[in-house]
Amino acid sequence: MENTSSLLLNFETNMEEQQESVSPVARLFRSQKFSCYIVIRMGCSTRFNPEVIKFGLEQTLLKHPRFSSKMVKDRTVGGKNRWMQVSVNMEDHVIVPNLDSDMEHADQFVRDYISNLTTSPLDLSKPLWEVHILNVKTSDAEAVAVIRIHHSMGDGASLMSLLLACTRKTSDPDALPSVPTKRKWEGRSSSDSGVFWKLLLAIWSAITLIGNTLVDLVLFLATVLVLKDTKTPIKGPLGVELTTKRFVHRTVSLDHIKHVKNAMNMTINDVVLGVTQAGLSRYLNSRYAGKNEKDEGAKQNRHNLPKSIRLRANILVNLRPAAGIQDLADMMAKKSKTKWGNRIGYVLIPLTIALQDDPLDYVRGAKSLIDRKKHSLEPVCTYLCANLLTKLIGADGAGAVAHRILSNSTLSFSSLIGPLEDITFYGHPITYMASNVYGHPHAMHLHFQSYADKMTVCLSVDPDVIPDPDKLLDELEESLRLIRDAVVERGLPIAEEEAVSSTI
């Protein structure tokens, strides 16, 4: 950890010199109606050694100023919020309950343990993070580590970059994990005869970009004012952000997702959003069947869905110039374009909820949706609006606006690429990684997290709204199988696999 420790120490010195103030988005995540947390679960193939974990955290994580600072209001600088460094007692942040490692129903215990964390906020007088080490054997790990961090500390890309800096390759204990990078498209040089057509294409692209952005902003404003999603069995009631959440996850093959991606000439994000549309359609169809059908002969393939369901997902978009997870050194460098913090925008995507005869229609529709949203400045505009509103009407006012937008949509969706190979966390081999967010006014947050050759489907739900989250995971897994089987049965040609992909 010597290189990581040195890097973080240099960054600590830089931050002390700059006396960093709290960003508007960080203040927004601390507002009364929009206080959000990130929970990261890591399974390990061995028991965790708490003393090794504590020592490792002291040498790495605590060197990052954000993890040894608390948010305070500086009375000497116009009352602005600033990050103030404090002494950290590791015993307050690393919790190791005394547990029976071979207890019965360990999976349920871990679920209940994490769920109970959502009932109590972190102590605002201390740095807003904690690590829970649960040395109990579950169905997919010998032990589980649970990291809870307040969202004001940074977004998913920032936190994943820092987490990777605290790990090493399993195959090479001295090497940092490979950081996914995006391969730039290299176009062929155009002849002079193509300049005219390129100019026309650029003009048309600019016109559609402006048009798409205006339409998206009008719909976003309408959502703030009056536009609401259909009341479905998965839409949370008012106050859902305050309820206890339950966390579940399911690991599927990333190779299966890549198979569909390559055969259909799309991104992994297109595939997982298509799987989401298919899985939600199947799950809601079964919920409506149980709600509306009195006869016991109602089956999954019967169409029980109401027509014209408006169901929108609020999707987080990383606004850094380089896509994917960044190298921590780049993120910490002065004048870096990929700075640490919350550099995320929001987009509202309408999901198609219907039973399709062709499973591939779900991923085709998802690709069309994402391609349309890529050609819009909606995430940039929402990020700038959040900053502006926080400065003009304060964090609580901006939080109330964000709360209303999310309350009028149905769910949150995110995806994040993880390490490309198996890793160790301070010498402990990691078997899976699962991340989620809670504290926002949705009854469900769906997150796709890749790790080596696996994809973990992560759900955080309000159990009063979605009492059977494992059933939803079943439908998502089955939807992926049906989509992949459709690709195999039709013998679709597989496009050439990219060496490294940064979008998932």
Tell me which DSSP letter residue 60 carries. Answer: T
Beta-bridge partners for 94:
131
* Cα–Cα distance, 400 to 180 (Å, whole number): 36
DSSP 321-379: SS-SPPPHHHHHSTT-SS-SS--EEEEEEE---S--SSTHHHHHHHHHHHHHHHTS-HH
93, 151, 249, 440: the active-site residue: 151
Beta-bridge partners for 438:
37
Residue carrying the six token digits 């926080």: 390
The number of residues in the chain equals: 504
User: Residues with Cβ < 8 Å from 115, sequence gap 6 or more?
Assistant: 244, 245, 246, 247
SS3 state of residue 103: coil
Q: What angle do CA 82, 83, 85 make, to 5 degrees?
A: 140
SS3 state of residue 223: helix
Specify whether 151 is catalytic. Answer: yes
Tell me which DSSP letter residue 320 carries. Answer: S
Active site members = 151
